[in-house]
Amino acid sequence: MQVLLTWPALLWLAWWLGERAQAWGLPRVSVYVAVGLLASVVAPSPAWVDGTVLALLAQLALALVLFELGGRIRLAWLRANPWVAAAAVVQGLAMWGAVAALGAWLGWPPAQRWLLAAVAVAAAPASLLRVVSDVRAGGQVTERALHQAAIQSALAVVLVKAVTAYWFVSAGDGLQALLASGYALVASVGLGVALAVLLGPLMRGVHGVGAAASTAGYALALLWLTVVADALKLSPLLAALSLGVVLRARLTVMPPVQRDFGVLGWVLGVFVFVYVGSRTAWPALAQAEVWWVAALVLGVRLLVPVACNMAVAWPSGTTVRKGALVGVALWPMSVLTLLLLERSVALGVVPAAAVLQQLAAALLLAELLGPVLTQWALRWARETAHSSPTRRE
């Protein structure tokens, strides 16, 4: 009964404190996670639903984000300026290799260190979009960070599926390896593309609807997509991202659609970040190795993207300074990392539980401090609504 009464109150408290923090210039999402830490102590699991329902709600919340992010991807721009996509792929693979090498140095088994490295590649699209929306950012750094976050998120899913397949093969289950990797990737993208092909004409056929009605239509489609993908053991997140990208490419997204999915997106956003904070493994934080992992992983996540984006700054048409700020803006890791690991645990990938414990401190620091760093990078780039004017670079 205590938990039943506490969790709704904590969600309201997270919203209220987030609004106060926004007025003080702090990112809302950092406050939501901080309240989630409180939830992990006073109300670790809501009594009216089980963990499966909570995880599904979290996947739906992130699916909304990835759909919106996919809708902002301009494939024509990426084709005209391939350096942006190349930097995202190179830095993702470099982070994967660097973290895997560190895991080998620490003596971890292959599957464990490769899985840790794979989820370390994941960006934080929910945090990034929330911060961009809060400060009304727009410009080179903002767009490059959003595009690279989408590419890194997709790459992380692919790497996690590859490591999952390796683990099942090592365990002698070749069929499960095929289902968890090739089938899951192809079918997830195929499901998103098929829904985009079907949904576009249907939404075009709805005349005279306002922003709220149009938003509801896409939200209900994403609810169906999330439930079906989860039931088929696919990746709802990759399917949602594919749906958004294809709809944008086919120019079928119906304007106007409410930014951040309106009130629904806001409520689910509060929930998902409180959920992330509530999943903090406090016993793991007492282990020194967990903090070493946090320092190594977060150090790699900062240095590699900054170096890669600085290296391609001039050929990609921006300054070295702005290239560095793109790398800084990509530092957070959060919801996607957590959900990828929880999904792996649910599929029976044994090393995923250990990796989830090892990343406890990294997730905590990245979620509390990451949005602050992203907001700082966007403001330093003079791309926020409150930035002072500066010369064009």
> What is the per-residue pLDDT across 237-249, written as a single tens digit (0 to 9) for each?
899 999 989 988 8
Q: Indicate whether 1 pLDDT > 70.
A: no
To the question of pTM greater than 0.85 for the whole model, the response is: yes
Q: Indicate whether 199 pLDDT > 90.
A: no
Closest CA to 95 of 30, 165, 151: 151
Q: What is the CATH number of domain 2-380?
A: 1.20.1530.20
Contact 143, 149 (CB under 8 A): no
Residue 391: its pLDDT value, please? 37
Q: Indicate whether 388 pLDDT > 50.
A: no
Both tokens of 49, joined, read 């639903």
Both tokens of 387, joined, read 């930035």
Domain boundaries, the chain: 2-380
Tell me the pLDDT band of 393, cut-offs 50, 70 and 90.
very low
> What is the per-residue pLDDT across 289-325, written as a single tens digit (0 to 9) for each?
999 999 999 999 999 999 999 999 999 999 999 999 9
Residue 255: its pLDDT value, please? 52
